[in-house]
Amino acid sequence: MASKNTPMTSRESSTELDSSAIFGAADLKKKQSEHTTPCEGDPYAPMSEEHHPDAARSAHAISLLTTVVTQARSSGQPHIVAMGEFGLDYDRLNYCNRAIQKHSFEAQLRVAASLQPQLPLFLHSRAAHGDFVAILKGVFGERLEGLDKGGVVHSFTGTMEEMKELMDLGLYIGINGCSFKTEENCQVVKAVRLDRLMIETDGPWCEVRPSHEGYKYLIERKAAQAPVQNGTAAPQATAPEPEAKQPKKQKNQKKQPEVPDRFKIVKKEKWEEGAMVKGRNEPCTIERVAQIIAAIKDVSVEEVCEAAWKNTIHVFGLEETT
């Protein structure tokens, strides 16, 4: 120990003042193990490919799935109109690795193929197109000729080539806010045939955000709408009016969105009927999806909605239940 007249280094000081120094090495290790929780692994790190499907657990899960579907269909009520959502997502390998995803997808598809009559499929494919199509073909044939009721690949964000291959196989393309993120995405949407189009929100996620490329079409649409007075479009001014004095901006004043929401928005703690919940995508925002598609394709919103509705009714057999 240093004398009171001798300055200590920072290392010596920490040792002198650290109460754990009174324990021996063995005691210190014991104390650390008692009071220190080991760090878990990174939850966003990809799941190791060393994990393999468990045959017994898989068989049990598939048996349960088959039983649930069979019982629901035998009830005489139209409870089930499709099988899904399921598929492959290689952007989420931290949840499940490729091997287990592929095994599960094929097993679920084989259940779907065994049903009589079959159900249409509600499918998911993200960053996994090659394996996705290969597994579908392995179960239903090279042209998916064994898929009696067809299906939709929802929340589509893939490439032009991927979209065309899916349409050529007879599948439908589901479009939502995530389908408009980039200029490339918007070009893909433009090329989706109306007879293969479905629209969705995928709420509470996948809203149309101001950062998305497709948002500009909402701004352009708003700008193109003439102000209405007494049910008639207001005449355009022949000369610019003097600019009105803007009210002084209050401190911490909330910035208004370029395209205001048509519905009232409240915090979840202040929920009320008829209002949207802040930060949550809602079914009513599907109109924005239709509006952006119409602008991208240069067709009317009504044409988009009519086509999407017709396709939805056809694929999910809703004309049989309505």
Angle CA 159–165–170, to nearest 5: 130
> What is the torsional sign of CA 177, 182, 187, 188?
negative
Q: How far is CA 101 from each of CA 23, 95, 107, 158, rounded to the nearest angstrom?
A: 51, 10, 10, 19
282 assigned to a ligand binding site: no
27 assigned to a ligand binding site: no
CA–CA separation, 149 and 270 (whole Å): 43
Bridge partners of residue 173, in order along the sequence: 153, 197
35 assigned to a ligand binding site: no
Three-state secondary structure readout of the chain: CCCCCCCCCHHHHHHHHCHHHHCCHHHHHHHHHHHCCCCCCCCCCCCCCCCCCCHHHHHHHHHHHHHHHHHHHCCCCCCCCCEEEEEEECCCCCCCCHHHHHHHHHHHHHHHHHCCCCCCEEEEEECCHHHHHHHHHHHHCCCCCCCCCCEEECCCCCCHHHHHHHHHCCCEEEECHHHHCCHHHHHHHHHCCHHHEEECCCCCCCCCCCCCCCHHHHHHHHHHCCCEECCEECCCCCCCCCCCCCCCCCCCCCCCCCCCCCCCEECHHHCCCCCEECCCCCHHHHHHHHHHHHHHHCCCHHHHHHHHHHHHHHHCCHHHCC
Known binding-site positions: 85, 124, 154, 202
Known binding-site positions for a divalent metal cation: 85, 124, 154, 202
